[in-house]
Amino acid sequence: MAPRHLMSPLDFSVEEMEKLLDLASDIEKNPDKYSHVCDGKRIATLFYEPSTRTRLSFEAAMMNLGGKVLGFHSSDSSSATKGESVSDTIRIVSCYADICAMRHPKEGAPLVASMKSSIPVINAGDGGHQHPTQTLTDMMTIRSLKGRLGNLKIGLCGDLKFGRTVHSLISSLSRYEGVSFVLISPEELRVPSYVRESLAAKKIPFEEVVKLDESTMSGLDVLYMTRVQKERFFNEADYVRMKDFYILDREKMELAPKDMIVLHPLPRVNEIAVEVDDDPRACYFRQVQYGVYARMALILTLLGMEDATNE
């Protein structure tokens, strides 16, 4: 049977997404039930671009399920430096592992790999394009903390052009009733036109604004902050000009709704002042923990083991 891959959050139907999030919540509540379900299984983490959370959370997820991990964390330490293609690499890795998570600076590289792979390939971030497993993390966090995925007003702030987490999250949330977006970015870092056009085509309410102020934050259920993606800029001067465009600090948080949660895929640079961390609405570190449960549920789902437990 052909393996199932994850390239975009839309690869799962809304029903499949709900099922996966239910599984992730069950794992959160009953971790012991799942601690040996992947005994003897291996995940390969092939990271051609830096990562802390995504790679380590995949590895932690597989270990929590009883499985093992192998892989590389930079292209310098793989045969990519010798000129090996991702298509060849995945054919090799298919002999060593049962599932693979790949991050690559080139958009579409994990998709190319998936076409030659005999094991499930997970897109762990491809250039400025998509980051579906961060979206699973974000969806689980929002559902757990707000109790729903529909009827939400979501503000996304920062680098909406290159921020792949933003593109994936917007496409995924767009499938729920009553969702609207406030897209907060400098003019140069607006969402790509394909994102804007897709929102317009689906008649999903959204506004694009530059300022992060009281009126922008009014009525928001979630404020999703992002860093300016330094590595995707062609010009250092442009990055320097943009990097501190937004700083969410205690003063700004006083103007925000009392029940608005603040999320961030991390790493944070300057866009959220450290003083905000103690605010009960700051949920970005809790989000990291949800990421492990979501990835455990994803591994089980792609391996066709979603009903497996130790019992």
Segment interacting with ligand NCD, rule: CB under 6 A, options 66-74, 253-261, 262-270, 302-310: 262-270
| Selected binder of ligand NCD within 9, 125, 127, 155 (CB under 6 A) | 125
Catalytic residue status for 91: no
Q: How many residues bind ligand NCD (CB under 6 A)?
A: 12
Catalytic residue status for 82: yes
Between residue 132 and residue 191, which ones bind ligand NCD under the rule CB under 6 A?
Answer: 134, 164-165
| Selected binder of ligand NCD within 129, 227, 252, 295 (CB under 6 A) | 227
Catalytic residue status for 103: yes
**Which is it for the CA torsion 234, 238, 242, 243, positive or negative?**
positive
Q: Does 266 bind ligand NCD (CB under 6 A)?
A: yes
Segment interacting with ligand NCD, rule: CB under 6 A, options 60-68, 245-253, 259-267, 270-278: 259-267
CB under 8 Å to 55, separation ≥6 — which residues? 45, 47, 71, 73, 101, 103, 124
Catalytic residue status for 129: no
Q: Does 5 bind ligand NCD (CB under 6 A)?
A: no
Q: Does 216 bind ligand NCD (CB under 6 A)?
A: no
| Rounded-to-10 torsion of CA 105, 111, 112, 116 | 130
β strands within the chain, DSSP E:
42-47, 68-72, 99-104, 121-126, 153-157, 180-184, 206-209, 222-225, 261-263
Burial of 81 (0-12, 13-18, 19+ CB in 10 A): exposed
Residue ranges that bind ligand NCD, judged by CB under 6 A: 53-54, 125, 131, 134, 164-165, 226-227, 265-267
